Structure 1
Amino acid sequence: PVTRMGDVVLHYRPGSIAELGGLLQRAERLLESFPYRTPPVFTPWSPATADRHLPIRPAKPPPVVIGPPHRLPSGGRTHANALREPPPLKRSWSVFTQSSVPQEESLSNEFRGVVAAYKLHLHQRAKWVIGRHNCGGSGDIEQVWRALNRHVRSSRLSTCNANIRRERAEIWVFCDVVRSERVGRFLKEQLQLLGRIELSVHSRGNVFSV
């Protein structure tokens, strides 16, 4: 247990509470020979009434730095004007190989007239429609669909995507207008289609056939 006497801490064993009074007296007698120091009284640096009349603003205005305008070494513009002017634009260029850019010269005069008449964009999508009547005597549209998948996966029709509409017994092959004439002739030859297949464009209907 611990007992405090002012700034003195007295430690004693537990169970000797009856002897605590004697311990305190003995400790006081031992401390009589030590000098006592009275702490100084705190005195504030300003009067107690000084905070009632604090100034709202400083008595003097802040200093103002006056000097000649700063000029950049490279030109006659001031520093303020240089901060306001936007930095010069950096141009970026892209280069494409000639083989990846579709050429308008690959279009036939007939198809070029179709594009002009319907005001088609060369990179909008169009679709070739293959029906059951184009699939030979058996009319097996599933066999044509399997053959078409092989050509698409072999990258021979890399710019195309296709789906089969079994409820309508039709195959739709989508491609860009600029490539549609070549794609249509490829489908006719490689899939050995009969009759004519129609090229359809959204909001235009059938615009061309091979």
Structure 2
Amino acid sequence: MGDVVLHYRPGSIAELGGLLQRAERLLESFPYRTPPVFTPWSPATADRHLPIRPAKPPPVVIGPPHRLPSGGRTHANALREPEGHSLVAEGRHAGPAGPQPPLKRSWSVFTQSSVPQEESLSNEFRGVVAAYKLHLHQRAKWVIGRHNCGGSGDIEQVWRALNRHVRSSRLSTCNANIRRERAEIWVFCDVVRSERVGRFLKEQLQLLGRIELSVHSRGNVFSV
């Protein structure tokens, strides 16, 4: 049992003896129990470095025989238990061994992506990057407005043409969306590729006027 602190009001020193006796009588009803000695569940020091292993290892599952393409040899595969741990119940009748179904294999096929070309930035664009302290791999966006879509101003037609270029991997590093409420198309790309992407958009989509390159917290920083 820990220490017991008795608080009393100043000026009542004469009653202190009675308070101490009353506190002792109250504390007598609490049993005093010695806590048990802690026994760790971990093994002794001699067995501390032994590995923890399951009582029975898992069975080895191997598929049907396969022919190796190099040597032309086959190896028989079966479902077997490890040696020394084979437990077969008596009186169990094995059913007739039927033909095993062939193993089904799934393949993930992907196209080989082209190696990104080194971007050659113009002196003007290098000055923009240095002036605004832009990181070459941060994202920027080209803004295409209705006034860039020719005399008809059909922004939906430009959007369909842009989708064809994105799906054909000609703009593999870009993603775009259309803001119909603002009649604008936003094309996102890395700063290091933004100059080439902007000129590609101007030529392939046959845009009129100038399109603006915008960077977050910087605004419009470049145009072509």
Distance across 2 between alignment mates of 1:6 and 1:120: 66
Distance across 1 between alignment mates of 2:130 and 2:29: 120
Contact between 2:135 and 2:191, CA under 8 Å: does it hold in 1? yes
Gaps of 5+ in 2: 83-100
Distance across 2 between alignment mates of 1:167 and 1:197: 19
Distance across 1 between alignment mates of 2:138 and 2:105: 29
Distance across 2 between alignment mates of 1:30 and 1:207: 83
Question: Measured at CA, do residues 88 and 202 of structure 1 come closer, stay the same or move farther in structure 2, by a change above 3 Å?
Answer: farther
RMSD between aligned alpha carbons?
A: 19.1
1:72: Cα distance to partner?
Answer: 45
Deviates more, 1:22-31 or 1:181-190: 22-31
Distance across 1 between alignment mates of 2:34 and 2:149: 117
1:18: Cα distance to partner?
Answer: 87
Question: Measured at CA, do residues 54 and 30 of structure 1 come closer, stay the same or move farther in structure 2, by a change above 3 Å?
Answer: same
Aligned with 2:29: secondary structure? coil
Deviates more, 1:5-14 or 1:80-89: 5-14
Contact between 2:213 and 2:222, CA under 8 Å: does it hold in 1? yes
Contact between 1:129 and 1:171, CA under 8 Å: does it hold in 2? yes
2:167 corresponds in structure 1 to 153
Contact between 1:104 and 1:178, CA under 8 Å: does it hold in 2? no
Gaps of 5+ in 1: none
Select 1:100's aligned residue among 86, 109, 114: 114
1:71: Cα distance to partner?
Answer: 51
Equivalent pairs counted in the alignment come to 206
1:204: Cα distance to partner?
Answer: 0.1
1:68: Cα distance to partner?
Answer: 57
Question: Measured at CA, do residues 84 and 18 of structure 1 come closer, stay the same or move farther in structure 2, by a change above 3 Å?
Answer: same
Question: Measured at CA, do residues 84 and 175 of structure 1 come closer, stay the same or move farther in structure 2, by a change above 3 Å?
Answer: farther
Distance across 2 between alignment mates of 1:40 and 1:205: 72
> Of the two structures, which has the highest relative contact order with CA contacts closer than 8 Å and spacing of 6 or more?
1
Contact between 2:64 and 2:78, CA under 8 Å: does it hold in 1? no
Aligned with 2:110: secondary structure? coil
Deviates more, 1:143-152 or 1:66-75: 66-75
Of structures 1 and 2, the larger Rg is shown by 1
- Flag the structure with higher helix content: 1
Distance across 1 between alignment mates of 2:166 and 2:80: 56
Percent sequence identity over aligned pairs: 100
**Are residues 1:137 and 2:151 paired?**
yes
Question: Measured at CA, do residues 206 and 75 of structure 1 come closer, stay the same or move farther in structure 2, by a change above 3 Å?
Answer: same
Question: Measured at CA, do residues 82 and 209 of structure 1 come closer, stay the same or move farther in structure 2, by a change above 3 Å?
Answer: farther
The CA deviation string for residues 114-143 of structure 1, in whole angstroms up to 9 with x for no partner, is: 000000000000000000000000000000
Aligned with 1:162: secondary structure? strand
1:191: Cα distance to partner?
Answer: 0.1
Contact between 1:102 and 1:178, CA under 8 Å: does it hold in 2? no
Distance across 2 between alignment mates of 1:35 and 1:206: 80
Question: Measured at CA, do residues 177 and 89 of structure 1 come closer, stay the same or move farther in structure 2, by a change above 3 Å?
Answer: farther
Question: Measured at CA, do residues 23 and 57 of structure 1 come closer, stay the same or move farther in structure 2, by a change above 3 Å?
Answer: same
The two structures have a TM-score, normalised by structure 1, of: 0.52
